[in-house]
Chains A and B, each alone.
Chain A
């Protein structure tokens, strides 16, 4: 009985506080891998000592104290570099203090994970591992990378954080917009992965989409005056509101234009609108606010029964001007086609260099549908084939096969 309660307490603190404790432990030593190891040992120690001695009054503080002693021991055994000695002395001093109120350094850790010195492809994986405590195998699965390879890349990135001395701090005003963009991009990428795997995700593993939203909320709480954080949060919430409508009960894919708006979550849409409005009050538009604004127009269909494609096309023009990503350019073409006709949409697609879209499924899917609407059956069929050949999701593949006819 007691054992069970103690074990549950360890599991609960590991689940809820992992990222906060890693951030706190590594913020002084800049050694993320060392902090993870020390926290892992502390959790193991807790599993054996809490059932015996009882769960401490402040479990997190107990773990931090244990882990700090472990880090200091480790460093003493290894030969410590001079520039680390000061940090370790500080850590040793704090380790003996009874710390009830632990500072939250997750924000700093987020900025470290998305630092320009770290390969951009690793920003999201690092964030998922260090801040959220996901293991390398699970991250590899989401990124479609060999688990051992993902493990190695993460280890190398953490070594770089330590060796290069990447600072655990929130960048100053001058640097912040660019650095914050990288953090937001990484969070949005995590959301996209969760969205993609929504179909058959293992229910035991926490959903990446939920985690991404949680990270954005955490970020907003620490930096309430950054409108792009609210923009990203609003964008993810708008998408989240429509999530159940994306597939029929039988697992068939339903494109946005054919979704039953009555099944969208009004409460989530309302929260998204509130965030977007709060962001807009700052008068500093950005990429994520624009994307959220586009989703807000889509959400209006719930009330008005129609989609204002012209408004969406105008927002996309602005978005492409600000951030000309492939995804934005293709979505703009689709919106232009709806608002002003398929010829003009196709003209937008033709502006994109073929080499950039050779492997890009959304381009071929949109192109196929536009060619079909223009009655160019042969060209449409070829584009559909290309889109089908590039599709990973079986439900989407079936939808495209049926559309092709």
Chain B
């Protein structure tokens, strides 16, 4: 089973990215990532730049609409995601609890919709 962890972080976590040498938060992330890989559960993922860098695209009536944002004011922002290959939701929750962001932000865990994925990718 594949699970996605959506990682929501407070501003202070984003700020720590500027101190990659000295930040214990970044050091904890490095160790966490290595552990995920060594445990054989890591299946992909990426950190995201903060929401101020976001651009949205919509097409309505054949017209492109491109906007800055969204600028929803929130204490926590989506800071990245990780894809995990695991036997159960319980196991996914274990790994989510160990994520350094869980102590300061929120981890949303969702199962991947493998059925629809199969339908879409199969020839």
Interface, chain A (partner B; CB < 8 A)? 144-146, 149, 358-359, 384-386, 388-392, 394, 397-398, 401
A254 CB to closest chain B CB, in angstroms?
17
Which interface residue of A149, A385, A388, A389 has the most chain B CB atoms within 10 A? Answer: A389
- A145–B90 touching, CB < 8 Å: yes
* Residue in B closest to A364 when the chains form the complex, CB atoms: B35
- B24–A389 touching, CB < 8 Å: no
The verdict on A392 contacting B34 (CB below 8 Å), with A146-B93, A359-B39, A401-B24 known, is: no
Q: Which of B25-33, B61-69, B74-82 contacts A (4 or more CB under 8 A)?
A: B25-33
In the complex, which residues of chain B have a beta carbon less than 8 angstroms from the beta carbon of A401? Answer: 24, 27-28, 31
- B94–A385 touching, CB < 8 Å: no
Tell me, in angstroms, the Cα distance from A391 to B98 when the chains sit together. 5
The reply on B115 being an interface residue by CB < 8 A is no
Interface string of B70-111 (1 = CB under 8 A from A): 000000000000000000011001100110101110000000
What total of chain B residues lie within 8 Å of the partner, measured CB to CB? 22
The reply on B118 being an interface residue by CB < 8 A is no
The reply on B38 being an interface residue by CB < 8 A is yes
Tell me, in angstroms, the Cα distance from A359 to B27 when the chains sit together. 19
The verdict on A389 contacting B93 (CB below 8 Å), with A394-B103, A398-B24, A401-B24 known, is: no
- B93–A388 touching, CB < 8 Å: no
B1 CB to closest chain A CB, in angstroms?
14
* Residue in B closest to A384 when the chains form the complex, CB atoms: B31
In the complex, which residues of chain A have a beta carbon less than 8 angstroms from the beta carbon of B35? Answer: 385-386, 388-390
- A390–B93 touching, CB < 8 Å: no
* Residue in B closest to A402 when the chains form the complex, CB atoms: B24
B8 CB to closest chain A CB, in angstroms?
16
A-B contact pairs, 24 of them (CB 8 A): A144-B93, A145-B93, A146-B93, A358-B38, A358-B39, A359-B39, A386-B34, A388-B28, A388-B32, A388-B35, A389-B31, A389-B36, A390-B35, A391-B98, A392-B97, A392-B98, A392-B102, A394-B103, A394-B104, A397-B24, A397-B28, A397-B103, A401-B24, A401-B31
Do most interface residues of chain B lie in helix, strand or loop, or is the interface mixed?
helix
Tell me, in angstroms, the Cα distance from A248 to B34 when the chains sit together. 30
- The 9 A-B pairs of least Cβ separation, nearest first, read A389-B35, A388-B31, A394-B103, A385-B31, A389-B31, A389-B32, A392-B97, A144-B93, A401-B24
A136 CB to closest chain B CB, in angstroms?
15
Tell me, in angstroms, the Cα distance from A401 to B39 when the chains sit together. 20
Tell me, in angstroms, the Cα distance from A388 to B90 when the chains sit together. 20
B106 CB to closest chain A CB, in angstroms?
14
* Residue in A closest to B35 when the chains form the complex, CB atoms: A389
Which interface residue of B34, B35, B38, B39 has the most chain A CB atoms within 10 A? Answer: B35
- B89–A390 touching, CB < 8 Å: no
B61 CB to closest chain A CB, in angstroms?
42
- Extra A-B contacts (4), CB below 8 Å, given A359-B39, A394-B100, A401-B31: A384-B31, A385-B35, A397-B28, A401-B28
* Residue in A closest to B40 when the chains form the complex, CB atoms: A358
